[in-house]
Chains A and B, each alone.
Chain A
Amino acid sequence: MKLTEDDLYRTSTQFKHWSFTPSQLAAQRLQTNIQASERVKAAVQRQRAQRAKQLDPASASESDRNGTPVPLDREVNCLTVAEEKKLVDTFCEKAIELGGFFKFPIEVTATGIQFLRRFYLFNSPMTYEPQTISRSAMFVANKTEGHHMPLEKYAAGFPKATSEQVLAPEYLLVQALRFNFDIRHPFRALKGGHLDMIEMARGNAYTFASHILKTAALLTDAYFLYTPSQIWLSAHLLADELLTLFYLSTRLPPSSPLHSKTLTTLRSCAALLSSHHTFTSPTTSAADKAAKDKKEKEEVQLLIKKLRQCRDPDKLDLVKLNQAQKRDAVDGEGLEEKKAKRRKLEREGYQKEADSFWGPELPRRENGAGGK
Chain B
Amino acid sequence: MVISPVLSPKPNPPGPGARPPTMKSKPLAILNSSNVQPPTAASTPGDTGRDMAEQMNDEVRKQFKTGAKLGEGTYAIVYSGHYKSDPSSLVAIKKIKVNQDYKDGIAMDAIREIKFLSELDHPNIIKLHAVFSTKDQNISLVLEHLPLGDIETLWKTHSISYSPADIKAWANMLAQAVWFCHENYVLHRDIKGNNLLIAADGTVKLADFGLARSFADPGRPMTYNVITRFYRPPELLLGARHYGGGVDVWSMGVVIAELAIREWFLPSNTDFEQLVAIYDVFGTPTEDSWPGVSQFEFYTPPDDSSVPAPANGTGPSHRATSPSQSTQSSIKRPQPLTYWRQRFPLLGEDGIDLIRGMLTLDPRKRLSAREVLEHRYWTNAPRPTKKEDLPRQGSGEEKMGEDLKRRGGEVESGRVDKVARKLDFGAMR
Decide whether A and B are members of one complex. yes
- Complex contact A39–B43 (CB within 8 A): yes
- Complex contact B51–A127 (CB within 8 A): yes
Residues of B within 8 A of A16 (CB): 11, 14-16
Residues of B within 8 A of A27 (CB): 31, 34-36
B262 within 8 A of A: no
- Complex contact B34–A23 (CB within 8 A): yes
Question: Who on chain B is nearest to A184 by CB?
Answer: B4
Query: In the complex, A32 Cα to B53 Cα: how many Å?
Result: 11
A227 within 8 A of B: no
Binary A-proximity of B18-50 (CB < 8 A = 1, otherwise 0): 000000010110010011101100110100100
Of A176, A181, A184, A189, the residue contacting B118 (CB under 8 A) is A181
Binary A-proximity of B191-221 (CB < 8 A = 1, otherwise 0): 0000000000000000000000110010010
Residues of B within 8 A of A39 (CB): 43, 48
Query: In the complex, A16 Cα to B103 Cα: how many Å?
Result: 33
Query: In the complex, A360 Cα to B115 Cα: how many Å?
Result: 93
- Complex contact B42–A186 (CB within 8 A): no
B13 within 8 A of A: yes
Of B108, B132, B220, the residue contacting A143 (CB under 8 A) is B108
Residues of B within 8 A of A12 (CB): 119
Query: In the complex, A4 Cα to B183 Cα: how many Å?
Result: 9
- Complex contact B53–A172 (CB within 8 A): yes
A31 within 8 A of B: yes
Query: In the complex, A247 Cα to B299 Cα: how many Å?
Result: 50
B297 within 8 A of A: no
A281: min CB distance to chain B, Å = 26
A176: min CB distance to chain B, Å = 4
Query: In the complex, A293 Cα to B15 Cα: how many Å?
Result: 60
- Complex contact B8–A15 (CB within 8 A): yes
Of B8, B31, B104, B179, the residue contacting A6 (CB under 8 A) is B8
- Complex contact A35–B42 (CB within 8 A): yes
A178 within 8 A of B: yes
- Complex contact A30–B106 (CB within 8 A): no
Of B2, B106, B112, B373, the residue contacting A5 (CB under 8 A) is B2
Query: In the complex, A19 Cα to B11 Cα: how many Å?
Result: 7
A38 within 8 A of B: yes
* With known contacts A150-B104, A179-B118, A8–B183 Cβ distance under 8 A: yes
Binary B-proximity of A160-202 (CB < 8 A = 1, otherwise 0): 0001001100111011101111101010110111011000000
A148 within 8 A of B: yes
A223 within 8 A of B: no
A318 within 8 A of B: no
- Complex contact B45–A38 (CB within 8 A): yes
Query: In the complex, A42 Cα to B44 Cα: how many Å?
Result: 11
Query: In the complex, A29 Cα to B316 Cα: how many Å?
Result: 58
Residues of B within 8 A of A181 (CB): 111, 114-115, 118
Query: In the complex, A163 Cα to B137 Cα: how many Å?
Result: 17
B184 within 8 A of A: yes
Give the residues from 113 to 134 in chain B that come closer than 8 angstroms, CB to CB, to chain A: 114-116, 118-121, 131-133
* With known contacts A11-B121, A30-B31, A196-B1, A139–B217 Cβ distance under 8 A: no
Residues of B within 8 A of A297 (CB): none
Residues of B within 8 A of A104 (CB): none
Query: In the complex, A150 Cα to B115 Cα: how many Å?
Result: 20
- Complex contact A122–B51 (CB within 8 A): yes
* With known contacts A188-B217, A193-B3, A175–B45 Cβ distance under 8 A: no
- Complex contact A21–B3 (CB within 8 A): no
- Complex contact B35–A23 (CB within 8 A): yes
- Complex contact A192–B43 (CB within 8 A): no
Binary B-proximity of A98-136 (CB < 8 A = 1, otherwise 0): 000000010000000000000000110001000000000
A10 within 8 A of B: yes
Residues of A within 8 A of B42 (CB): 31, 35
Question: Who on chain A is nearest to B425 by CB?
Answer: A148
B320 within 8 A of A: no
Query: In the complex, A127 Cα to B11 Cα: how many Å?
Result: 29
Query: In the complex, A147 Cα to B42 Cα: how many Å?
Result: 36
Binary B-proximity of A195-212 (CB < 8 A = 1, otherwise 0): 110000000000000000
- Complex contact B28–A34 (CB within 8 A): yes
Give the residues from 1 to 58 in chain A that come closer than 8 angstroms, CB to CB, to chain B: 1-6, 8-13, 15-21, 23-24, 27-28, 30-32, 34-35, 38-39, 42-43
Of A19, A32, A179, the residue contacting B14 (CB under 8 A) is A19
A140 within 8 A of B: yes
A70 within 8 A of B: no
Binary A-proximity of B80-115 (CB < 8 A = 1, otherwise 0): 000000000000000000000001111010011011
Residues of B within 8 A of A172 (CB): 51, 53
Question: Who on chain A is nearest to B108 by CB?
Answer: A143
- Complex contact A182–B106 (CB within 8 A): no
Query: In the complex, A122 Cα to B39 Cα: how many Å?
Result: 9
- Complex contact A34–B51 (CB within 8 A): no
A159 within 8 A of B: no
B57 within 8 A of A: yes
Query: In the complex, A147 Cα to B131 Cα: how many Å?
Result: 23
A362 within 8 A of B: no
A151 within 8 A of B: yes
B328 within 8 A of A: no
Query: In the complex, A167 Cα to B107 Cα: how many Å?
Result: 12
Of A2, A13, A20, the residue contacting B183 (CB under 8 A) is A2
* With known contacts A12-B119, A127-B51, A175–B57 Cβ distance under 8 A: yes
- Complex contact A123–B51 (CB within 8 A): yes
- Complex contact B14–A35 (CB within 8 A): no
A127: min CB distance to chain B, Å = 7
Give the residues from 142 to 197 in chain B that come closer than 8 angstroms, CB to CB, to chain A: 179, 183-184
- Complex contact A122–B45 (CB within 8 A): no
Of B16, B57, B133, B428, the residue contacting A148 (CB under 8 A) is B428
A144 within 8 A of B: yes
* Those 5 A-B pairs whose CB atoms lie nearest each other, nearest first: A192-B1, A176-B53, A181-B115, A179-B131, A27-B36
Can you identify 5 A-B contacts, CB atoms within 8 angstroms? A8-B183, A24-B13, A34-B28, A122-B53, A172-B53
Apart from A13-B119, A181-B115, A189-B4, 19 more pairs, CB < 8 Å: A5-B2, A6-B5, A16-B14, A16-B15, A31-B31, A34-B28, A38-B45, A42-B48, A122-B39, A122-B56, A127-B51, A140-B106, A143-B108, A143-B111, A146-B428, A148-B104, A179-B139, A196-B1, A196-B3
Which positions in A face B, CB cutoff 8 Å? 1-6, 8-13, 15-21, 23-24, 27-28, 30-32, 34-35, 38-39, 42-43, 105, 122-123, 127, 139-140, 143-144, 146-148, 150-152, 163, 166-167, 170-172, 174-176, 178-182, 184, 186, 188-189, 191-193, 195-196
Which positions in B face A, CB cutoff 8 Å? 1-5, 7-8, 10-16, 25, 27-28, 31, 34-36, 38-39, 42-43, 45, 48, 51-54, 56-57, 103-106, 108, 111-112, 114-116, 118-121, 131-133, 137, 139, 179, 183-184, 213-214, 217, 220, 370, 373-374, 425, 428-429
